[in-house]
Chains A and B, each alone.
Chain A
């Protein structure tokens, strides 16, 4: 079943290259192989210097977000046959836009995590918790923020967002998604703080409703909808 797959990868080595450039590889792959398997096969048997992040290999750790044929995807959640690699189509792989490239497909995630931290991504509750039992929450209340608890902080949404590319200070969709997860948690009392952070110039109003984030999210989180819900919360809960 194995076929020849052609992959074009944007390479950049800060110790050697002045500019990033494409290199093309031909690899033997199964149509059901993941793009990550293809990258591994290049790294292990053709070019050991090819650099990318990876860990879980099944879309839950968020390490291997990259641009595959122009769209942000997790390399471990796209199969060769999903992008027609087995039908002779060339697969193009680049690092995500909107981030500084460290090497090849590895980008600097530190600013991204700093933005995540800036929205206070932890439960804020000023009352003492019950001594020996959980805080109660109805199943309906739990359901409200279910979607946004799925975020794995891979950065695919932020890296696909035109305002994020344009504005280095924009907190970006990932941080907003995580703010949503707490703002709509009935146990949380920090909504006002977070809404005021997100109401600033670099918060939710930077969003231009492009929907790239929703398309890019490997966890199928309705990101744009979450952003809209936060804006509505600002408007109606004043």
Chain B
């Protein structure tokens, strides 16, 4: 009885089962991504809250308390004389970029379904993102004030 059971079941597959294969395009369930998605989601929330403060302070200082015409080389020199402001700007840079990158990554996962294109898009995104972080960080960290009087 039981052998008969098996063979008939295979020759008459569940009509529903046929469509299973259709929706999981990559064949079977997507591979587990560990805790990456969870941390990515959590990071989104945390970085979002932090960015709110960082961006507001940034906005306040650069656009409201100081008019654009007072923001010049000297202004930056004075500001970055303090390690506190350098840290602030590094944080702002890294958080804003990673938050934005994460958002873009999620969009890619939503709308780019082919495995090849997805890998390409995400790789490009990461390369560009890391490049900007490195460039920005280099400026902030290695900036040395020049003697201003010479220029005048």
Contacts and interface: CB of A to CB of B under 8 A. Distances in A.
Interface string B9-33: 0000001100110111110011111
State the majority secondary structure of interface residues on B: helix
Contacts of B4: none
A121 interface: no
Interface in A176-200: 196-197, 199-200
Contacts of B106: 208
A28 interface: no
A169 B24 contact: yes
B33 A201 contact: yes
Interface stretch (A32-40, A75-83, A160-168, A211-219): A160-168
B70 to A, nearest CB: 41
A48 B113 CA distance: 39
Contacts of A122: none
Contacts of B147: none
Contacts of A206: 109-110
A207 to B, nearest CB: 9
State the majority secondary structure of interface residues on A: helix
Contacts of A108: 19
Contacts of A110: 15-16, 19
Contacts, number: 63
Q: Chain A interface residue count: which class? A: 20 to 34
Interface string B91-116: 00000000000000010011101000
A69 B129 CA distance: 42
Interface residues of B, number: 25
Given A168-B113, A169-B24, A111 B19 contact: yes
A118 interface: yes
Contact of B110 (A113, A163, A235): A163
A205 B38 contact: yes
A163 B37 CA distance: 15
A166 B16 contact: no
B18 to A, nearest CB: 8
Given A114-B23, A167-B111, A199-B38, 16 more contacts: A108-B19, A110-B16, A111-B19, A111-B20, A111-B23, A113-B16, A166-B110, A167-B109, A169-B24, A169-B25, A200-B37, A202-B30, A205-B37, A231-B41, A234-B38, A235-B42
Interface of B: 15-16, 19-20, 22-26, 29-33, 35, 37-38, 40-42, 106, 109-111, 113
Closest 4 CB pairs of A and B: A205-B37, A110-B19, A111-B23, A166-B110
